[in-house]
Amino acid sequence: MKPPVDDQQEFPGATDRVLLEAAVSLKELLAQVAACLIPFPAFMNMITLQAVELEPPFSGLEDRGCVVVVPGGNIYQLDLKVIPGAPGARETDQMEEFLELDLLPGEYILYATNAIGLLTRELLNRKTGLR
């Protein structure tokens, strides 16, 4: 049965609402999964930086640089800069900045799903003793 024209015109709005609801639910789930990882994984084996890199789930998405999930379950772009350090043992130091990402709900869903998968895998590896 063909729906009335009025319903067809509401499809885009309904789609946006469903995507937004899914994104909100995934954000809550991602925060719960991230909270279970104590200690949270180190980024590239740096003991001072806790984050897990998220690869773009599909080609064709806007290049957002280094996208990471952090202990609170938030997804950011990581801007890691090497700066001159104290002379001697440490000639360079690092400065990290977490930048807010302006993701559409559909994009957020892709990154959050990726993050939940990676963090869940890490939890399972810790449980079974695999690393």
- Nearest residue to 95 via CA among 82, 78, 85: 82
> pTM here?
0.81
Domain that holds residue 80: 5-128
Name residues of the chain where pLDDT drops below 70.
1-9, 59-62, 85-93, 130-131
Radius of gyration of the chain from Cα atoms? 19
Domain count, the chain: 1
- What value does the mean pLDDT of the chain take? 85
pLDDT at 5: 39
The set of residues, in sequence order, having a beta carbon less than 8 Å from that of 112 and lying 6+ positions away, is 23, 26, 27, 29, 30, 75
Q: Which of 115, 122, 114 is nearest to 57 (CA)?
A: 114
